[in-house]
A and B are shown apart, each in its own frame.
Chain A
Amino acid sequence: MPVQLAKELVELIEGGVSMQLGTRDKDLRPEVLRAVGVTVGADRSTLTVYVPAELAERTLANLEDNATLAITFSHVIDHRTVQLKGKLRSLRRARRNERALSERWLAAFAEQLHMVGFSRRLALRIRIWPSLALEIELHDLFAQTPGPGAGRRIEAGA
C-alpha cells in the first residue's frame, strides 16, 4: 500500500542531501550505492531516484531479482535523516533533460559539504552522468536521525 510523504519531508529529500540506496540479492546479501539525484512525484507517493549507470551493476541485478529497496536521505549539516522503503516500479536510462536534476542535486550537495568544511571541488567530482532513473513506490517511512528515535515509523502526512 503506497504511503504519502509530508511536504516538509519532500523539502528535505529534494534539498541536496546525501542519498544511499540499499538493495539485496536472492541470497539476502545487501548492496549499497550512492544516488545522484531525486525528484518526488506530484502524488508524493512515488519518487524517481538517479544512480550512476557505471556503478549500478549489482544494484540492477538485485532489483531485477526482487525490486525491494531502501533509501536514506541525510542532511549533511544537521544529520536530519529519513529512510524510505519501497518497491521499484520501473527502471530506464535517464533522459538528457533529466541531467539538470542531478546537476542541481550535486551543486546543493557540494554547498552542504562546503558549509561543514569541505572544498566544493571535492564533491563536484562525483560522477552523475550517464545515470539510470529508478521510479519507486513508497511503502514505509522511518525516522533515521541518530539517537533513540532512529527507526521510528513516520506516519504518512498531508
Chain B
Amino acid sequence: MTLFESLPPACFQGVIPAAISTCSHDGTPNVTLLSQVFRIDTRHVALSCQFFNKTKQNVLENPFATVELYDPLDFTSYRLEIRYERAETCGALFDAMALRIEAIASHTGLTGVFRLRSADIYEVLACEKREGFLIAPADDPSPEPPDPRVPRSELKCLHLVSQRTARAPTLDGLFTALLEALEEGIGFRHSMVLLPDETGSRLFAVASRGYGDEGIGAEISVGDGLIGMVARERRSLRLSSMDSELRYGRAVRASVQATGGRRELVARPASGIMV
C-alpha cells in the first residue's frame, strides 16, 4: 500500500483547509486554500470547482499542482504532487460533491449562486509526509482525548438498535428507543426523525434528541436547507465539520454581497442534520 492510500480518512474531510499551489504558463505562482480534497481511488483526488478561478485557469495551462494536506487529529502534514486530468460535470462523483455544496448553499441562502461547476480529477504523482513540520509532543501529564478514529462496533450498535426498537410498545417509544440507541451505540448526541406530510412537500420532526423542547414539531420544506436537500435528493450526506462548512458558506455569502451580487440572500436558521 502506498503512503497516499494509507493517509488517514480524516485528511480528506475538509476539517483543516488544504492549500494548493499552481503556476501559470508565464511562470507566476498562485496559492490558495481548498475547502476539501476528495480521495477517489488509489491514485486520484478530486477538487471541487465552484468558480472559474486562477487555480483552474492555471491547471488548464500547466497541469501540475502541489497540495498540502493536514490530519486534523494531530496536525500531521502531507505533501501531494498532482496533475490535472479532467473535469467531470455529471456522474456519481459529481452528484455526491454537488449535493454537499448545494446543501451548504441552500443553508446559507446561496442556492443557485454557489454550486458545483465540475469535479476536477487529478492524478497523484507523489505523496510524502512533511517530516519536521511538528515538534515532538511535550511531556504533558494531562491525558490526550480519546482518538475518535478508534472504530466503534457498527455491528454492536446495529444489534443494540434492533434489540431496543423490537421491544418498543408504541410508535413514540420506537423513535425514542432508536435515538437513544444511536447515542449509546455510536455517539450521536443530536438526532431527529422527520416524516413527510401527506403532500410530500414538508417534513415534520416527530422525534428529537439533544435539541431540547424545540426539536419536536420542527418543520422544513423538502429541498430547503441541509435537511431538505438530503430529503429531496434521497441521498445520504456526511458533513464532517458542520461549523467549518457553514463558515465557508457564510464567507461566500459575504463575498457575493460585497461584489454586488444578489442582495436578497436569506440564510436558514441553524438546524441539525440526520444523515
Q: Which residues of A are at the interface with B, using a C-beta cutoff of 8 A?
A: 18, 20-24, 28-34, 52, 54-55, 66, 68-72, 74, 77-81, 83, 85, 116-119, 121-123, 125-127, 142-152
With contacts A123-B75, A125-B134 taken as known, whether A70 is within 8 angstroms of B51 at the C-beta atoms is: no
With a cutoff of 8 Å between Cβ atoms, the chain A residues found around residue B51 in the complex are: 147-148, 150
A80 to B254, CA, bound (A): 10
With a cutoff of 8 Å between Cβ atoms, the chain B residues found around residue A31 in the complex are: 21, 66
With a cutoff of 8 Å between Cβ atoms, the chain B residues found around residue A126 in the complex are: 75, 133-135
Q: Is the CB of A24 within 8 A of B27?
A: yes
A120 nearest CB across to chain B (Å): 12
Seed contacts A20-B21, A30-B30, A55-B133; 10 additional CB < 8 Å A-B pairs: A20-B19, A32-B67, A68-B28, A83-B32, A119-B145, A127-B133, A147-B114, A148-B113, A149-B256, A151-B54
A87 nearest CB across to chain B (Å): 11
With a cutoff of 8 Å between Cβ atoms, the chain A residues found around residue B135 in the complex are: 125-127
Interface residues contributed by chain B, number (CB under 8 Å): 54
Binds A, one of B153-161, B190-198, B242-250: B242-250
A55 to B35, CA, bound (A): 24
A21 to B33, CA, bound (A): 11
With a cutoff of 8 Å between Cβ atoms, the chain B residues found around residue A151 in the complex are: 53-54
Which 7 pairs from chain A and chain B are nearest by CB? A147-B255, A22-B31, A79-B251, A32-B21, A22-B21, A30-B21, A22-B29
Q: Is the CB of B31 within 8 A of A18?
A: no
A146 to B51, CA, bound (A): 9
Within 8 A of A (CB), among B120-178: 130, 132-135, 137, 140, 145
B179 at the interface (CB under 8 A from A): no
